[in-house]
Chain A
Amino acid sequence: MTDEPQRVDAARTTLLNEDWAAVVAGLILIAAVLLGVIPSGLVP
């Protein structure tokens, strides 16, 4: 019976974690391009 609320809560937790993961991944990629770690020729 307690399984369902836990699963919905877990979905919400995953969503929030993905939010932060997206922020970190996006900003790291931006920094990598601006600092020249990812040159323009590398992205098809």
Chain B
Amino acid sequence: MTTRDSDERNAAVETESAPRADGATKVEAAPARRSSAPAWAAAGVAVVIVLGGLTRFLEQNVPDWAEGGPFERVAGAIEFPVYAIAIGLLGNLVLTRTGVRDKLSGGFRTEFFIKTGLVLLGASINLTVLATAAGPAILQGLLLITAVFSFSWWFGGKLGLDEKLRALLSAAVSICGVSAAIAAAGAVQAKREQLAYAASLVIVFALPSIFLLPWLAGVFGLSDVVAGAWIGGNIDTTAAVAASGAILGDDALQIATIVKTTQNALIGFVAVGLTAYFALKVERRPGSARPSIGDFWERFPKFVLGFIAASIIGTLWVKFVDDGKADISTINDLRTWFLIFAFVSIGLEFSAKGLRDAGWRPVVVFGSATVVNIVVALGLATVLFGNFELPQ
């Protein structure tokens, strides 16, 4: 590995896992940290695994401990994402107090854990479900992204936000959270602080949504399928979608994942569109090349391919192998572990640090766009998935 590779990886760890606004301090501290970064990242992964094990232990034992007591019903109703995020936040508090959280943050790989979990989830989704849900999911994704992105872009303009920050916030709130913000940041050449800010906003809004939307789905009396489609189209970041869907159960989780994965797949079009718009309209760079197929492919989230491949493998395995469902059940247990690691990482990564300097206007834009997203997604999910039935 070259020094340049190493530098870029360290920079990426800092930017993606825990983006910060204090760039100067980070650059000065980098040489001392470079040699020990892999060891700290490995320790960070170990922290995630230990806290994940604690989550699994509590999830399996708390209902037994509470049996016959006043909290029996509550304890029985709490699903693993609640324990995982709460334990992650507690761990965050402890590690921040002891001053090692930032050093360990290279191991809090939320994106890797959630995407591996989603590939594993693909094995339990029948290809027929994937094929029949893809149509309404694509339509919902296209309409929702267009409506929410347009609103956020327009409202950000009204409030006088910087064009690049508008692009980041609009992509994050309308497509898939932090991943979309990173893709948009590359497309419009945004500042690191702007990316950090957008990523912080995504998490701040996603955390309450994880619990709020399943509760509202119950209040509105939504079916699992419609609730899943609503959650998948609504919550920004993929890990939070999986957490929220899992609270409602496996059917809602499947549909929420299909809808969110579809939105993830559409990110390439938005990123390429933003690149062209900023090159030709905003910065007016002469001779900018037209986007090619390669540009779309470069920005396409590749885990979607793994998700589809797993669905094909799982469907064929159950169809042609005796007792194939037992193997899929084991894969589901592994999937739960990776989702737990992702949810623990969400809690460990959470930081409101990036929000301090940016003022109230971006928060108002993001909050308003989230409300628009909730309302439009509810309408679309009800219309497009109202008659959808999962095979038994």
A residues whose Cβ falls under 8 Å from a Cβ of B: 3-16, 18-27, 29-30, 33-34, 38-40, 43-44
Given contacts A7-B192, A22-B116, A33-B330, contact A27 B15 (CB under 8 A): no
B317, A34: Cβ atoms under 8 Å? yes
Which of chain B's residues have a CB closer than 8 A to the CB of A44? Answer: 56, 333
Which of chain A's residues have a CB closer than 8 A to the CB of B314? Answer: 30
Which of chain A's residues have a CB closer than 8 A to the CB of B117? Answer: 26
Which of chain B's residues have a CB closer than 8 A to the CB of A27? Answer: 119, 306, 309-310, 313
Interface bracket on B: 35 or more
Residue of B120, B183, B298 contacting most chain A CB atoms (<10 Å): B120
Q: CA A23 – CA B183 in complex, angstroms?
A: 19
Q: CA A9 – CA B118 in complex, angstroms?
A: 25
Which of chain B's residues have a CB closer than 8 A to the CB of A20? Answer: 302
Q: Is B273 an interface residue (CB 8 A)?
A: no
- CB A13 to nearest CB in B, in angstroms, measures 6
Which of chain A's residues have a CB closer than 8 A to the CB of B303? Answer: 19, 22-23, 26
Interface of A is mostly: helix
Residue of A23, A40, A43 contacting most chain B CB atoms (<10 Å): A23
Choice from A10, A15, A23 contacting B119 with Cβ under 8 Å: A23
Which of chain B's residues have a CB closer than 8 A to the CB of A24? Answer: 306
- CB B24 to nearest CB in A, in angstroms, measures 10
Q: CA A4 – CA B314 in complex, angstroms?
A: 43
Q: CA A26 – CA B306 in complex, angstroms?
A: 7
Q: Is B367 an interface residue (CB 8 A)?
A: no
| 14 further interface pairs, Cβ-Cβ under 8 Å (given A12-B186, A33-B327, A33-B330) | A8-B185, A8-B190, A14-B16, A15-B111, A18-B115, A19-B115, A19-B301, A23-B306, A24-B306, A26-B120, A27-B313, A38-B334, A40-B330, A44-B56
Given contacts A29-B331, A33-B334, contact A23 B302 (CB under 8 A): yes
Given contacts A23-B303, A34-B327, A40-B326, contact A12 B115 (CB under 8 A): no
Interface 1/0s, chain B 99-136, versus A by CB < 8 A?
00000000001011001111110110000000000000
A15, B116: Cβ atoms under 8 Å? no
B329, A40: Cβ atoms under 8 Å? yes
Which of chain A's residues have a CB closer than 8 A to the CB of B138? Answer: none
- CB B362 to nearest CB in A, in angstroms, measures 18
Choice from B16, B118, B120, B317 contacting A29 with Cβ under 8 Å: B120
Q: Is B337 an interface residue (CB 8 A)?
A: yes
Which of chain B's residues have a CB closer than 8 A to the CB of A39? Answer: 330
Q: CA A7 – CA B190 in complex, angstroms?
A: 10
Choice from A3, A6, A7, A12 contacting B183 with Cβ under 8 Å: A12
Q: CA A39 – CA B334 in complex, angstroms?
A: 11
Which of chain A's residues have a CB closer than 8 A to the CB of B120? Answer: 26, 29-30
Q: Is B13 an interface residue (CB 8 A)?
A: yes
